[in-house]
């Protein structure tokens, strides 16, 4: 499955279109149902802490094939995990996955975001969400919205095929991650039944699931960084530049950075999913990993571009696309705040985490 996804990635990037064939490939491989609990035909991959290594490895494999597909798949896993943890409509997500349709999580907003108004039998959503990956293609995403009179959101699973919903994909003119079909979604009184509403107000942001869950994004990004390293090595082999000691020094920086990133992601995943872990400590470790990973990834991209030269900036060479995708995907929200939180936690502890 992964080689075929990688082979199609250039076409997806050029068309800036949702990777429907790749999502179908995930479905055929059983990966859309895999995050679901075993009682609903899944493998429990999203919510079973004992399977964290398997989930991390899977996310990295998908990210290696395509960061675009990896981003969408990570959102699907997150939606399943949140629904499982907070009593959401897992049967609906299971039916969607069985039909080959992926879910996702839409939380980003500018300003106050959507407002949820109580009506008979459910809620009506009014307002706008931004940076919605898969907009126009996801049928049942998880959407956060604040009930009237509250600053803490509930979680909703609206049916995007219903009335009162408009999608704008024209806003996504990004340099990378072009195939995520990311857009703005405007809700205008869209109805969501009580059965598709879940969690207590503020549960979405509860630690360590929210901030700690960023380890999954890092696992996907690790796949992209590994692909860049492999393409970097292959380009040096073709050009013969690998005999230059200056070039080898840069490559060593990239390879060492990848290994550091791999170890960081593995430990972040372990700590974030350990039921016995102290939530603030787990979040602080993931926050530290986020900031460290960004620096390592940018150094790997820089080394590849310097060593390969202009060819690393020109399409249709996959190295250009993979670098653009990872640079774009690294622009995650609140990264400076994450570094600050990690530092604040570590300072009174001598800068060290307990094993």
Which CATH number characterizes residue 339's domain?
1.20.140.10
In a domain, 355, yes or no: no
pLDDT tens for each residue of 35-52:
999 999 999 999 888 999
The residue-averaged pLDDT of 76-80 equals 98
Query: What's the confidence (pLDDT) of residue 194?
Result: 98
List of residues 6+ apart from 30 with CB closer than 8 A: none
Query: What's the confidence (pLDDT) of residue 294?
Result: 97
Residues 111 and 88 in one domain: no
Q: Indicate the residue among 44, 68, 98 that finishes a domain.
A: 98
120 has pLDDT over 90: yes
Could you write out the DSSP letters of every residue in 117-156? EEETTEEEEEEEEEEETTTTT-SS-EEEEEETT-SS-EEE
The residue-averaged pLDDT of 185-196 equals 98
Burial, 106: exposed, middle or buried (Cβ in 10 Å; 0-12, 13-18, 19+)? buried
Phi then psi for residue 164, to 5 deg, are: 80, 25
Q: Tell me the pTM.
A: 0.96
Burial, 289: exposed, middle or buried (Cβ in 10 Å; 0-12, 13-18, 19+)? buried
Q: Which residues span the domain enclosing 235? A: 207-349
Query: What's the confidence (pLDDT) of residue 348?
Result: 97
CA distance 261 to 279: 22
How many structural domains comprise the chain?
3
Query: What's the confidence (pLDDT) of residue 112?
Result: 81
Query: For the chain, what percent of residues have pLDDT higher than 70?
Result: 100
């Amino acid at each position: 499955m992964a080689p075929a996804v990688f082979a199609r990635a250039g076409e997806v990037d050029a068309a800036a279109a949702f990777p429907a064939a790749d999502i179908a490939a995930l479905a055929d491989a059983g990966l859309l149902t895999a995050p679901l609990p075993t009682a609903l035909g899944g493998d429990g991959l999203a919510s079973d802490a004992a399977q964290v290594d398997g989930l991390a490895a899977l996310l990295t494999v998908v990210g290696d094939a395509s960061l675009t597909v990896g981003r969408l798949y990570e959102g699907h896993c997150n939606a399943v995990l949140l629904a499982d943890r907070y009593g959401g409509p897992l049967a609906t997500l299971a039916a969607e996955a069985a039909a080959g349709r992926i879910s996702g999580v839409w939380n980003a907003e500018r300003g106050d975001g959507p407002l949820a108004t109580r009506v008979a039998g459910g809620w009506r959503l009014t307002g706008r969400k931004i940076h919605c990956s898969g907009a126009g293609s996801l049928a049942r995403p998880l959407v956060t919205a604040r009930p009237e009179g509250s600053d803490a959101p509930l979680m909703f699973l609206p049916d995007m095929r219903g009335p009162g919903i408009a999608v704008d994909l024209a806003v996504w003119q990004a340099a990378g991650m072009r195939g995520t079909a990311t857009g703005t979604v405007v809700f205008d009184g869209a109805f969501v039944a009580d059965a598709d509403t879940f969690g207590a107000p503020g549960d979405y942001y509860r630690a360590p699931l929210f901030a700690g869950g960023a380890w999954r994004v890092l696992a996907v990004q690790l796949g992209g960084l590994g692909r860049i390293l492999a393409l970097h090595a292959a380009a040096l082999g073709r050009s013969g530049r690998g005999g230059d000691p200056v070039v080898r020094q840069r490559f060593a920086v990239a390879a060492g950075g990848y290994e550091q990133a791999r170890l960081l992601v593995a430990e972040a995943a372990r700590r974030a999913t350990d039921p016995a872990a102290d939530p603030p400590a787990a979040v602080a470790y993931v926050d530290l990993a986020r900031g460290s990973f960004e620096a390592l990834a940018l150094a790997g991209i820089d080394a590849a571009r310097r060593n390969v030269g202009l060819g690393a900036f020109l399409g249709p060479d996959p190295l250009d696309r993979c670098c653009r995708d990872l640079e774009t995907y690294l622009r995650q929200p609140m990264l400076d705040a994450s570094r600050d939180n990690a530092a604040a936690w570590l300072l009174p502890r001598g800068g060290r985490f307990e094993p």
